[in-house]
A and B are shown apart, each in its own frame.
Chain A
Amino acid sequence: MSATVTRRDGRGIFASTRHGWPMVVPALCVLCVMNLLPILWSFGISFYRFRADHPRLAPHFLGLDYYVELMTDDDVWERVSNTGEFILGSVSVQIVVGALLVGLFYRPFPGRRLILMLVLTPMLLSTVVVGTFFNFFYDPTFGFVAAIMRPLLGHPFVPLASPTSAMTSLIIADAWMWSPFVMLMLMAGLSSVPRELCEAAEIDRASRWHRFRSVIFPSVRGVLLLAVLFRVIESFNAYELVSAITNGGPGTSTETLSTQIYGTAFVLFQTGRASALANFSTFVIILLVNLYFQAMRQRGRAMGT
């Protein structure tokens, strides 16, 4: 950090912690009350058998029992693997579709702004509303997905009936919403490709593949990593989409950690158990955010800011 400008009386504009703290403390206090405190409390709850719908029932201390139970519960591991499948599928589709969209939109052309609006709208929609509509699109009788697939397959198609096609349906809906985000990320990466390098590559008549590998990809790599981490974090938290489209079914084949936490907390009202599971998710997310933070700073350093 550069030295700050100092007045004749020796007071620097940016150097005073005595005046700096009062700026950030109010916000930090609100964050402590609304975010940090609930997280700590959530740890407290997870040590007790406790039902939020029966506040009079005295909480029963269990210690780490719920954590032990969760680690050895096959159902929980199935949710973990469903969540992983969903993230892996959705994020990879998003990268492919996002890259294709970049190819379409990175150069300016007449009407680009208006057409981009069509593509950017999905990521601004409410997930739960999107989920409800996709649930309708996947309807075997009235939905257009079934209507398109029926003549192709030669038999009626029920998208949400089998575990694989239900998961695929979820992935398509999530990727539809978020591929444009990956597109925006990749575009930001493209605009940091140094102009001189591109011109040099053109003069050298480098092949397209070579140009992509040695000129374009190195500039895009950092931002692609950020996009992946960001989408992994958000997909990990996805609750609304899953609950609206499949509600975990058929059976429990698309039940994810988030839907499991919701069901345990607000359908079964096993508040303590749900908190233990939620804390496990928090732990995973903090690890991922840490990775994101480091990737971000690395990219910042690489770009010289």
Chain B
Amino acid sequence: MEQDDNHPLFRPASWGRTVGSALIGLAYFIPVLWMLLAAFKTRQDALAVPPKLIFAPTFEHFVSLFTGFEDGKQVFADGFQLYIFNSLFIASASVLLALGLGLLAAYGFARMQLPGTSYLLFYTLAMRMIPPLTTIIPLYVLFSKIGLGGSYAGLIAVYTGFNLPFAIWMLRSFIVELPREAEEAAWLDGSSRPAILWRIVLPQLRGGLAATAIIALVFTWNDFLFSQILSGSDTRTIPVAMLRVMGADFGTDWGLFAAAGTIYLAPVLLVAFFLQNQLLRGATFGTVTR
């Protein structure tokens, strides 16, 4: 969102705009705020109508998340840390795999003059946008046949396939923006293509790679359906665990749910602040950059 200050449309506004937009921004943020506050409320305070803004904060929900016990009652078989680990492990492994494969493919599609590139790119995008349930049903059948159901390997494979189209499109959009001249000069000097990719393209692509990785992590971190159907009780990711353990089994415990949600939300808030300029590109899979 870096804009030209001389552009008549984008003349800087004054502090008045700050106040007005802060009020509207806060109103927009109320649902998230409610959750953040509920995480620190006792059960009675969380259910108070109208919602209490001033209350004595408690950390009991966070403690019970990690010990597995609330009010002396076991609410988790293992602590919440298992699900945090699962989410982090599955997301980072699949994003790393997708980035590696995606970087090569993105470079091939962006630079090498391959026949049928535009069809293949269309196919890649379509793969990501078709209803996930279409692929989940056969994958469920397949996984239970070959014993991959509930395993980390199965989930990582599924999420690699889920992140790959995104990685290809996103990285491609960054590569097309790089000037070709540096690569061409190195080529004339006798460098090989792998050397060019490693020494010339990668260093310029650092920011793009980071943005792609982080947004893919958020997508995977947030996904529910694949994990809901294909994970087992030991390999559940956070959203599935939140719903299963806290929703169905014990009648929703809102404080606990909100505490889990708060831990879950923290990394996402950082992304919303630091990655604003790449958010649109990420949300459109690199098809809209400016």
Contact = CB atoms under 8 A, between A and B. Distances in A.
Interface of A: 1, 4-5, 7, 13-17, 19-21, 23-24, 26-28, 30-31, 33-39, 41-42, 45, 52, 55, 104-130, 132-134, 136-137, 141-142, 144, 147, 176, 181, 184-185, 187-188, 190-193, 195, 198-199, 202, 216, 223, 226, 230, 233, 236-237, 239-240, 244, 258, 261-262, 265-266, 271, 274-275, 278-279, 281-282, 285-286, 288-290, 292-293, 296
A226 B32 contact: no
A202 B105 CA distance: 47
A191 B10 CA distance: 9
Nearest to A13: B187
A117 B21 CA distance: 12
B130 A39 contact: yes
Contact of A258 (B21, B115, B133): B133
B32 A52 contact: no
Nearest to B28: A119
Nearest to B254: A136
Contacts of A7: 187-188, 190
B54 interface: no
A4 to B, nearest CB: 7
A125 B271 CA distance: 11
B202 interface: no
A119 B280 contact: no
B131 A35 contact: no
A285 B249 CA distance: 36
Contact of B108 (A24, A31, A199, A202): A24
Contacts of A202: 8
B21 A278 contact: no
Contact of B264 (A24, A129, A199): A129
A286 B268 CA distance: 30
A282 B138 contact: no
Given A55-B144, A262-B133, A125 B21 contact: no
B285 to A, nearest CB: 9
B283 A181 contact: yes
A50 to B, nearest CB: 8
B129 A289 contact: yes
A175 B117 CA distance: 35
B150 interface: no
Contacts of A128: 224, 239, 243
Contacts of B288: 185, 188, 223, 226, 296
Contacts of B14: 109
A193 to B, nearest CB: 6
A126 B141 contact: no
Nearest to B20: A104
A202 B140 CA distance: 61
Contact of A129 (B22, B132, B242): B242
Q: A38, A41, A110, A116: which has the most chain B beta carbons within 10 Å?
A: A38
B129 A285 contact: yes
Interface stretch (B61-69, B76-84, B118-126): B118-126
Contacts of A1: 113
Interface of B: 1, 3-15, 17-18, 20-22, 24-26, 28-29, 31-32, 34-35, 47, 49-51, 101-102, 104-105, 107-109, 111-115, 120, 122-127, 129-142, 144-145, 157-158, 160-162, 164-165, 168, 180, 183-184, 187-188, 190, 193, 196, 218, 221-225, 229, 239, 242-243, 247, 252, 254, 257, 261, 264-265, 268-269, 271-273, 276, 279-280, 283-284, 287-290
Given A23-B107, A108-B10, A119 B25 contact: yes
Contacts of B229: 266
A35 B105 CA distance: 16
B116 to A, nearest CB: 10
B187 A31 contact: no
A118 B25 contact: yes
B187 to A, nearest CB: 4
Nearest to B7: A195
Contacts of A133: 31, 34-35, 261
Nearest to A46: B137
A289 B123 CA distance: 10
Which 10 residue pairs across A and B have the least CB separation, nearest first? A34-B161, A20-B112, A23-B108, A27-B105, A5-B184, A41-B138, A126-B222, A38-B135, A13-B187, A24-B108
A115 B131 contact: no
14 contacts: A5-B188, A15-B113, A20-B113, A21-B114, A26-B105, A31-B124, A41-B142, A55-B141, A107-B13, A115-B18, A120-B276, A181-B280, A195-B6, A281-B134
A114 B288 CA distance: 23
A193 B8 CA distance: 10
Contacts of A39: 130, 134-135, 138
